[in-house]
Every structure is written in C-alpha cells, then in structure tokens.
Amino acid sequence: MSVTVKRANIEIATVQMDTFQSYISCQGKVEPIRTIYLDAEEGGRVEELFVEEGVMVKKGQAIMRLSNSDLNLSIMNSEASLSEQTSRMRDTRLAMEQQSISVKSQIIDLKFKIQKQKRLVGNNTHFYEKGLVSKEEFVTSKETLDEMQEKFALLQEQYERDSMSRGIQLKQLDESLAMMHNNLKLVRQKLDNLLLRAPVDGLLTTMDAEIGETKQRGQRLGIINVLTAFKVHAEIDEHYIDKVQAGLKARLERNNCCYRLEISKVYPDVKGGSFGIDMKFVDKLPDNVRTGQSYYLTLELGEPGKAMVIPRGGFYEDTGGQWIFVLDADGKHATRREIRTGRQNPVLFEITSGLKVGEQVIVSGYPNFEKAEEIEIK
C-alpha cells in the first residue's frame, strides 16, 4: 500500500552519531534536610506554652510543659516503697550480723574449751599410766574431747554455710534495692519528659497543643524542620525504577545559573505509578531557597557517550519504536523499515539497529499512513 504526502506536512530528520546523555526531566520540591517530629513521651494536660508556631528554636529550649497527677502519685508510692525496703534491709542486715556474731562467739568459746579438754586428756593419760586415775575417768575425758571436736567441726560448717547463704541474701537485697532506685529514677525521668524541649536547632513549623488540652502518650505535639541544609524530593515514573539509584547526578537551572545535585536516597515503594527520590545539593544552593519551592530538574541516568540517534517525534507513539519510514536517496520516496531503539531522553532516541548514519527518516506521527508500506513525498 502506498500513500502520498506533502513534504510540508511531515518532519524529516537525519540519523547522526552524536553524544547521547540518558536523562529525564522531573519536578522536585524543596524540603528541609531533616524533619524532627515531637511526640508526647508521656501523656498529660498542657499547662504552659513557651514558644509559638513558626519561630526558630535552639537545642534544649523549652517548648511546652505538661502535667500528670498519676505520675506524681507514682513517684510518691515509689519513694515510700523504697524507704520501706531500705528499712527492712537494714533490719535484715542487723539480724544477720547478730546471728553471725553469736555463732562466732560459740566457736571461740568451744575452741577454748577444746584446748582445756586437750590439757585434761594429756594429764589423765600421764596419770593413768602411773595408776593415779581410773580407766573410766581417762576414757570419759577422751570421749568428751572427741565430742567437742565434732561439735566444733559442725559449728564451723554451719558458720560457713550461713556465711554463703547470708552473702546470697544480701546480694539479692542489694539488687532489689538497686532495682527500686532505678524504677524511681525512671519514674522521675518520666516526670522530666513532661517538659518538652527542642532536640535540635530549627524552625518550629507546627505546634498542635492548646493550654488545658489533654494529650495522650505518643500523640504528635509539633514538628521542627532543620534548616542548616535542604534536599529536593521528586517523584519518578516507575518505568525508570531499575535505572535510578543513589549517586546519580541531576541539575537545575535558575536565573541563568546551573546547580548540581546528587541522589541521596531512593524510596523502594511504588505508589500511584511512581516512586520517590531525595537529592542533595553538591556545591552551592540557589539564592533565597525556601521550603516548598518547586524546581524543574534534569536527572542524568548514566554517563554520556557516543550513540546513533534521531530526534524524538510522534512516530514512536504509532510504532512503539519498532519501525520507521526511511527516505530513498532522491528524497521523494520513503519505505517502511524495522528498527530497534535503545535509550531515550526528552530530545533523542538511541538507534541500536536498522538504520545507518546519514540516512533520513520521517519522525513525525503516522496517524494517516501507519498501514502503508511506501510513501511518495511531493
């Protein structure tokens, strides 16, 4: 099938070998480099507001104060329990020390009695050999010594066992007391958390609290934007998700100046056919940059290199880049030819096969002759 068209109604381009830079255009929005969310660590009633929304705050500066009667009551109960436990521990220690002293006293007393009994046995042995004491008296003194020594051994064993048990009990008491001190410290720290302070220097962009209002634990109280630097957030079509990665360069032009950026973060989730990226400025910032400003950016998808290219045109929409009309040498006829396209940017298509440098092609749309095999140009 052949159709005839006027040259004035079509767009003709020449296949060229040129520097190709794969890039896409996108719109980015300026955001603060960091956003800090202020949430209530403890619930309570808003008592005081020390600053207003929209002001710059310094790290550690008080923003608002809450009150919580339950926390105050909890501190009182913890202090009372700690005092009671301390008193009980003191009494337990005293009782253990008294018991230890009593056993030690028994050991000392029995030790001296054993020494006396040993002297008695020695004397009775000498007297028994001379016939001055009876055998019964001699044997009784030895049995008494043996009994004392066995009792001494048992008493020492009891003392050692009691010492070990006492050490374990005292350690447990110390640990219990330390735990109560930590619990009291934590409760007091919760009370300190009722005073909300700025964790960083920045702009208090939002403060959602009114005096007398009750806030629950974890509820959002405000937002601080850190303005020491800025980033640019952009949404990219999911078609490019495999090509966009951290470290790629971008540029924006404003007031005849070019500013360089670099992708610092790629968000993995795809929502509504697009995914998000964050970019940081590499060198300098545009003048008077403000949060919320929008910029049109050029995102580079790789290093530039030589490639066979043709200008973008409407033909791609009709052919999907699978074929194109190529002009003959006389420029009066064009025939349909299969091609393959590679990378693309908003200006050029890369041609990977089907064409030669210097050939001319029709790059305008083919809505009226997409089924034709040949075109006659007048």
Pairing type for strands 374-377 and 2-5 reads parallel
Coil, helix or strand at residue 285? coil
DSSP string, 318-336: HHTTSEEEEE-TTSSEEEE
Q: What is the pLDDT of residues 46-88, one digit of tens each?
A: 999 999 988 999 999 999 999 888 877 777 777 777 777 777 7
CA atoms within 13 A on the CB side of 247: 4
pTM for this predicted structure = 0.54
Determine the residue type at 307.
Answer: A
Measured CA to CA, the distance from residue 91 to residue 72 in angstroms comes to 29
In the predicted structure, residue 91 carries a pLDDT above the cut 90 = no
| Sequence-distant (≥ 6) Cβ neighbours of residue 4 within 8 angstroms | 375, 376, 377, 378
Expressed in percent and rounded to 5, the helix, strand and coil fractions of the chain are 35, 35, 30
CB 281 within 8 A of CB 295: no
Q: How confident is the model at residue 14 (pLDDT cuts 50, 70, 90)?
A: very high
pLDDT of residue 236: 92
Question: For 198, which DSSP code?
Answer: -
Total residues found in the chain within this entry: 378
Average pLDDT over every residue of 159-169? 80
Average pLDDT over every residue of 25-46? 90
Q: Which H or E element spans position 259?
A: strand 257-266
Ordered alpha helix ranges (H), 193-285: none
